[in-house]
Amino acid sequence: MSGIFALTIDHWFAILFYIGGMKTFKNERLAALLERERATYVETHPQSRALYESADHLFGRVPMTWMNKWAGGFPMSYDTAHGAIITDVDGHTYIDFALGDTGAMAGHSPEPLVRAMQQRLGVDGGVTTMLPTEDGEWVAAELSRRFGLPSWSFSLSATDANRWLLRLVRLATSRPKILVFSYSYHGSVDETFVVVGPDGAPALRPGGVAPSFDPTTTTRVVEFNDIEALQRELGYGDVAAVLMEPAMTNIGIVLPQPGFLDAVRSACDATGTLLIFDETHTFSAGPGGATRFYNVSPDAITIGKSLGGGVPCGAYGLSADLAQRVLNAVSEGADIVDVGGVGGTLAGNAMSLAAMRAVLGEVLTDDVWEPMIARATTLAEGIAATAARHDLPWSVTQLGARCEYRFSSPAPRNGGESAASHDGPLEDYIHLACVNRGVLITPFHNMLLTCPATTDEDVAAHQRVFDEVIDELMA
């Protein structure tokens, strides 16, 4: 069987393209092409290489160790980034579909953000003072309008938003555990590094770096889209909250099956469990994120990254009921003001708030999603057509402005299946061949994201490059 079948789920812009077929490429050919692309990369990036090799004081030779994820052996150092275009120190220009893996979903340095930063830093002054500015209420009100939750607090990362919110839900419910879906990612939050192991029991996620406690003792875990397993685990009555992305985005994209999110909401209600949506990536679904897109009402939401256009920020929103339960616990002695474990000195600072106001008010406005999503659809359709032309058993999944391909078909239904479809050398070849031809996709899995500055020409250029890269693999 081969061909493309578009299956609409809930709405036209959450689409799976199933690509059937049995044909594959030869591994020797893949190895040879990867070798060639690596040689080309080294040859054409002498400045980036020199900077990398002379970075003797950087642990791992990069400012953050995950920057070593890029497939070429060393990352490109970049010089400029504007809109959807990055230029590196060797003078190469890239169309950027990685977009700081969502931190730059607003595009790089959009003019309103630059203006707001200049105003805050250069004119009004004061990055951080331990005092509020009027931007805070504006941003919180805008988040309320978009996501439907009335009360918001700020952090400097989505990780911290999750970390602090987990404390609040345990405080409000007096329950010790949380539940996550296998192979989810919510930042470096210890409790979340649990997967469903080969025997079906909770297991440490492979590669975990010395968590401060054994997360299998704090966390229940089930596969995404498995409502029976979720009901069973919540039935123990010890889970404070389910922490989930409404669609998984960090092990490829895994969409919720029709009715799954409503069933999750019902299972939470039936067991007195709170429901947290992590919208950090699923914000790509629309101006009110996947919460609005799927029309489900969580008790709390976390978000970060793109909200401030890449300026450090994060936020968590609480329902009126949850906020009241936290306040009740506060009146009995819980400390959310001083050293109780929620908050950070720089959280909610004036610069971060000014950035969020500029991005929400003038860049990621309600009207920009439609063209961003249309371009992501064109990307997804083009990738699916190329794979189908070669009879490759791959699948392409789209969530609003974000799309992703996986090396399996039909598209994985949960994190375990998606993890199993990973193919390191194939991914490295495609990623690096794209870099060598001026296109960036996320260095983690195969995600492409559009921003307001992404153009039809950018999308067409990706298609030309992708065709060339896959045609050569299959020749």
Ligand X SMILES: Cc1ncc(COP(=O)(O)O)c(C=O)c1O
The residues of the shown chain that bind ligand X, judged by CB under 6 A, are: 157-159, 185-187, 245, 250, 278, 280-281, 304-305
Burial of 366 (0-12, 13-18, 19+ CB in 10 A): exposed
- Find the shortest distance in angstroms from Cβ 233 to ligand X: 21
Residue number with CB closer to ligand X (184 or 436): 184
Residue 25, Cβ density class (10 Å: 0-12 exposed, 13-18 middle, ≥19 buried)? middle
- Which CB, 88 or 427, lies closer to ligand X? 427
Q: Which is nearer to ligand X, 173 or 250 (CB)?
A: 250
State which residue, 280 or 386, has the beta carbon closest to ligand X: 280
Nearer to ligand X, 116 or 158 (CB): 158
Looking at the Cβ atoms of 305 and 375, the one nearer to ligand X is: 305
Smallest distance from the beta carbon of 256 to ligand X, in angstroms? 15
Minimum Å gap between C-beta 161 and ligand X is 8
> Least separation, in Å, of the C-beta of 98 and ligand X?
12
Measure the CA–CA gap between 291 and 294, rounded to whole angstroms: 6
**Nearest to ligand X of 30, 243 (CB atom):** 243
Rounded Cα gap, residues 293 and 286, in angstroms = 7
Radius of gyration over every alpha carbon of the chain, rounded to an integer in angstroms: 22
Nearer to ligand X, 33 or 105 (CB): 105
Q: How far apart are CB 457 and ligand X at their closest, in Å?
A: 29
Please state the closest distance from residue 406 (CB atom) to ligand X, in A. Answer: 17
Least separation in angstroms between residue 186's CB and ligand X is 4
**Which residue from 437, 157, 121, 400 is spatially nearest to 282, judged by alpha carbons?**
400
Closest-CA residue to 369 (of 402, 346, 391) = 402
Looking at the DSSP bridge assignments, the partners of residue 315 are: 154, 303
Q: To the nearest whole angstrom, how small is the minimum distance from the Cβ of residue 168 to ligand X?
A: 16
Minimum distance, C-beta of residue 195 to ligand X, in the bound complex (Å): 16
- Give the burial class of 455: count Cβ atoms within 10 A of its Cβ; 0-12 exposed, 13-18 middle, 19 or more buried: middle
The structure tokens 């949506």 sit at: 277
> Which residue has its beta carbon closest to ligand X?
187
Closest CB to ligand X among residues 185, 294: 185
